[in-house]
Amino acid sequence: MNQEPPQRPITYGDLFDAQGELASELVIKEDASMMQSAEARVVGQTKRGGLPSMMQSAAERNLQTGAIDEDTRSIVASEGVSVVEMIVPGGVVDTEYVAGQPILQEVRSVPTVTVVLKC
């Protein structure tokens, strides 16, 4: 009889360079939903294959393996998630935070317009 070894639950430390208590925290569906909402509010959409998608996949696996259930809560729910979009010359920098820790940063180029005023 061939049995697969039990799958280990997925933590934030498995997905990202998370530190401290967050690194050992299991990823849950509520966290993924919060990140999806934050990203959509700031960026205007959620990116396919982006951070919310990764978190959702990890949470689904944690549910399937029984590591969490629908009522599981995490420190992320109390400390929150956020997305900050900073416009800089020639680009936009999006930084996504989970429980106060920067988890993902993306830089996008945008065209720069030069205006010359003659007086």
pTM of the model: 0.78
**What's residue 27's pLDDT?**
94
Q: Would you call 10 exposed, middle or buried from its count of C-beta atoms within 10 A (0-12, 13-18, 19+)?
A: buried
Q: Which stretch of 47-51, 94-98, 112-116 has the lowest confidence by average pLDDT?
A: 112-116
pLDDT for 69: 86
pLDDT in tens, 17-62: 899 999 999 999 999 999 999 988 888 877 788 888 999 999 999 9
The whole-number pLDDT of residue 4 equals 57
Whether 64 and 6 have beta carbons less than 8 Å apart is answered as: no
Question: Long-range contacts: 39-43, Cβ < 8 Å, 24+?
Answer: 39/83, 39/96, 41/83, 42/83, 42/84, 42/85, 42/94, 43/83, 43/85, 43/94
Handedness of CA 90, 111, 81, 57 (dihedral sign): negative
Mean pLDDT of the chain: 87
pLDDT, position 43: 80
Q: Identify whether the C-beta of residue 83 lies closer than 8 Å to the C-beta of residue 40.
A: no
Per-residue pLDDT band for 3 (boundaries 50, 70, 90) equals low
CB 95 within 8 A of CB 102: yes
- Helical spans, DSSP H, in 1-119: 12-15, 20-23, 29-43, 51-64, 75-79
44 vs 79: CA distance, rounded Å? 23
